[in-house]
Structures are given as C-alpha cells and as structure tokens.
Structure 1
Amino acid sequence: MSPERAEPGEDAGDAEPSGGAEPSETAGTPAYARVQNVVAALVPLVIGLVAAVMSWRLGVGSPAAPGPGLWPLLVGVAMVVAAALLAIRSRPRGDEEPFTRDSWTVAVAVASLLGYAFLFELVGFEVPTAALLVLWLKGLGRESWRLTVAVAATATAALYLLFITGLGVSLPHLIQL
C-alpha cells in the first residue's frame, strides 16, 4: 500500500501537509468559512470601538494623573487592534463549523445578559436573577423544571444572603429582611 493512501477506518484528511507548510485555502473549504471568520473578528472590533468611545467620554486624564477612562480606553484600543488583525489575516482552515440553530443560543444568552443589566436597576436583583437562571437552565439548557426552580431559587437566595446580608453591598433589591 502506498503512503498516500489511508488505511481503512482512517481519515485521509488527518494527514499532515508535507513540508510543514501552513494549510492554504482549498477547494474543499466551505464558502461560508471566510465570511464567518471575518464576522467573528468584527464583533470584538465593534465592541472595542464602543468601549474606546465610552472610555474617552469618561476622561482619560494624563499619564501623571490618569482619569477613569484611561485603562478601559487602552483595553478597547487593544481589542480593536487585535480584532482588525484577525479580520485582515483570517484564512479559512476548513474546520470551521457552520452557524446552526444552536448558534442562536449564544445570541440569546448575550441578549438576556443585557436585559438582566437593564432590569437589575429597574426592579432590583432578585427577579432578574431568578428569571435569568430560569431562562438559561430551562430555555437554553433544557433542564427539568424541578432542577431549574431549585437552582434559581437557591442561587438567588444565596446571592442575597452573601452580598446584601453578609457583605452589606447596596444592591437594588425588593426583599427587605
């Protein structure tokens, strides 16, 4: 048997390229791969830009007297530079996974965190915390109702006891003990 042929049960695609060269775009690379890689790099780029603008508005001060926005600005700029390099240099490798229905789980989780942050100030932390846990456990994790209710109630109570009662953190909350 020649060395180029795969043994039965082996995947011929697992073989290392000869000469140690970096894999290049091949005809077998899915069409969505390049776009997917660029989009994956553009998301942190946009987040970094927003963070940099918001940090600048806080005031960066000077090196001798740094303002509250200096370090967040530096992190935002670093995110923009790293994401831009990723977007420019992204080459499909052929092992990218396509976006599927399950990919929306990440979008729902991020949106629910934004909703949590918004409701936290409006309603207090108990209701949004319990609701977020129920969404994540039952909706995204497909856990049983028994486990979902038990974890949501226990975790919310534990956080209340830890932060509000134990540490005296002044979080907005509904329940007064």
Structure 2
Amino acid sequence: MYTIPGTVSDAAAADLLGRAKSGEREAFEQLIGPLIEPGYHIAFGIMRDRQEAEDAVQEAALTAWRKIGQLREESSARAWFFKIVVNRSRMQRRGPWHSVIRLPDLDVVGRWNEERTARTLDLRTAVRELAENDRLLLFLHYGLDLPLEEVAPVVGLSPAGTKTRLYRVLKRLRPVLAESEGSIPWK
C-alpha cells in the first residue's frame, strides 16, 4: 500500500486552496506537490512508459494550476488532481493499458517457488482482464489507500456506486485471490 506523504488536514487544505485560487504559487505547490508521485504511479499504470507518465503528470499539474479556480471548496483536491492525471494519461497514451496494479516483476518472483509464481501470474492475468475503470478502482483504493469517497469522482461514480463496483470486482477476483492468499503484494 502506498501512503501519500505530506498530505494536509482538511482545514489546512481549505486554506491552501483559497490561497492557491488567489494565485499564490507556493500554496498550490503545497497542495498538489505531495500528489505528484502517486499521480505518476497512476499515469505509469495507464501508459506503461516512464517518460510518457512524467509528461502526463507535468501536463496534469499545469492543467490543475490553470483550472484551480474550478475546484469547489467542498471537493477533494486529491481526487480532483488524480482525475486530471487519469484524463491526461488516457488522452496521451499510445498503446493498450495492461494493468494499473503493479504486481511483482518476474525477476522478483524468481525467488518464490513455482507454485506461488503461477498463482501470482494467474492474479496478474485476472487483473488485466478487468475493465479499465475496475483496475483503476483497485489501484486507487488498495494501492494508494484512498477512501471510496475520493475514489468515486475519479472513476465517475457515486460513493455508493463505487462501493458496489468494488464489491463486484472483488467477487470476480475471489477465486484467484483465494488461490493467491498470502502472495498478494498490494494486500
């Protein structure tokens, strides 16, 4: 699980948002800065190319700066920025999106026994077969540990719809997850 370092409290975020909306660059950097690295992980998951992911996050940050005035006070800056990253990455990507969840590379898996490797590959295959938004939902909730209320606007659903979608995705993955129990790196 990836935690976002340097995120601020709701009161501090509201203050930073107000200052950023008035054009204060330092406030914008404090608000969005801690989100750049997780934004990169999202972009890389979509694009599978480091340089393209970096470009997408830079473009997303520029878009966020230009459109900071459109962010409503009651909205989550984190969810808003991640939605910009997702949209920018989708517009920019050149090839198919394989997986947003980073499972271990085969080099790392090499030290595991063959049975565990096969189960991990089954899990990787099952995740790849999910719809794009379902993979994104899993990564945002389990990979970045975002609450469903913040994941919802990024995937374009209500919080209740997001919870239902997550339940259905996990239900589809349950047979593979049961076999892979204990070898799930993002659990």
Larger CA Rg, structure 1 vs 2? 1
Q: TM-score, normalised by structure 1?
A: 0.26
TM-score (norm 2): 0.25
